[in-house]
Structure 1
Amino acid sequence: MKPQIRVRVTQVRSSIDCPARQKATLRALGLRRRMHSVEKTVDLAILGMLRQVSHLVKIERVA
């Protein structure tokens, strides 16, 4: 079995004035406000979500 890759996702920009789809994506990732962080296990669905909101978040690999 492949090792699970974990990432820490931090919202660094506000979702004000963003399209509703991007706001919904942030909520689906579990991000509630600026500077809020969550840890996620990477899979294809999460990668797609991160790509949609890459300009609003910072992504760091967790050791």
Structure 2
Amino acid sequence: MAQIKVTQVRSKIKCTISQKRTLEALGLKKINATVEHEDTPVILGMVDKVKHLVRVEK
């Protein structure tokens, strides 16, 4: 499968607990942190939940 880069671009301060946990599960802890994942349906679903906080590159 292809790789995607997920970068956190906004703060998680006023987010719900589930969104904070989703960011942690993706491996994002700070603003401008970048991680690479396979673009599986599970990862894409997690990214969709926090799409207002992250930027995705293929």
Report what 1:17 is aligned to.
14
Q: Which has the larger radius of gyration?
A: 1
Paired residue total: 58
Structural mapping, 1:47-62, within 5 Å:
47-61=44-58
**Residues 1:46 and 2:12 aligned together:** no
* Unmatched 5+ stretches in structure 2: none
**Among candidates 6, 9, 21, match of residue 3 of structure 2:** 6
One-letter identity of the residue aligned with 2:41: L
CA distance in 2, matches of 1:8, 1:45: 15
What RMSD, in angstroms, separates the aligned Cα atoms of the two structures?
Answer: 0.4
* Unmatched 5+ stretches in structure 1: none
SS of the equivalent of 1:24 reads helix
Q: TM (normalized to structure 1)? A: 0.90
Identity of aligned residues (%): 47
Q: TM (normalized to structure 2)? A: 0.97
